[in-house]
Amino acid sequence: MRGLDEQQKRVSFWDSWTKAVSSTALSPEHSNPPDEIFLAALALDARRELVRAAHVAKTIYRPKIDPAFAKYRLTFKQFHAYRSKLPWYRRALLLYGAPNPQAASSKATFHSLLVINLLEPFGLPLLWSIKPALSPHKSTWIVALHKTHPFVGLLISLVATILAAGVVVGAYASLRRKAIKYENDPQCYLWEEDPQTGVAYPID
């Protein structure tokens, strides 16, 4: 309550100040240019103070959202400036922090699939050596086909390999496109910049 009272006093002060400045505005021929420049600078400060007060009050009223705000602090503009400076391989493999929860979820699925595929050549033979019953066996007709028609058997194996690789690459592409979609959607961000002051504030 004390924190909310402090923010209320801050808002009340700057609200009264801006109203007083507006009500005492002078015509250009009677105003003092240095004073007007000073008042214009203070008016910007007043807006920043109101934004800060709103931010503090919001975190007091909605403390459960704080962890999400703390984890994803970049605005749309800040994130794209950060991502554009990364090397191509980091952008290609999504090796950077996510700007919002939706992109983080898609990237987690993308990287999980990547880890599984990288470990598969080592993990599956180890599993089959421990439990031989789980080891796959070639179908009898494929073995027979390789013996009777080696070229046809090789062609079928090649086509099956290409199709399997296409499915895996397609899954990677789909997950990556989904993550990029959330990264490029301003509505998915938890923070936004005030266009006049440049101050970032959390979005509802």
pLDDT of res. 194? 74
Provide the terminal-to-terminal Cα distance of the chain, rounded to the nearest Å: 22
Q: For residue 17, what are the β-bridge partners?
A: none
- Per-10-residue mean pLDDT of the chain, 204 residues long, equals 77 84 73 79 82 75 65 90 94 93 92 84 64 60 65 70 82 92 91 74 68
**Cα–Cα distance, 201 to 108 (Å, whole number):** 27
pLDDT of res. 134? 57
pLDDT of res. 197? 66
Tokens 């999504």 -> residue: 94
Instruction: Check residue 184 and report its DSSP letter.
Output: T
**Cα–Cα distance, 104 to 190 (Å, whole number):** 13
Contacts 24+ apart (CB under 8 A), 35-42: 42/17
Tokens of 112: 């999980």
pLDDT of res. 136? 58
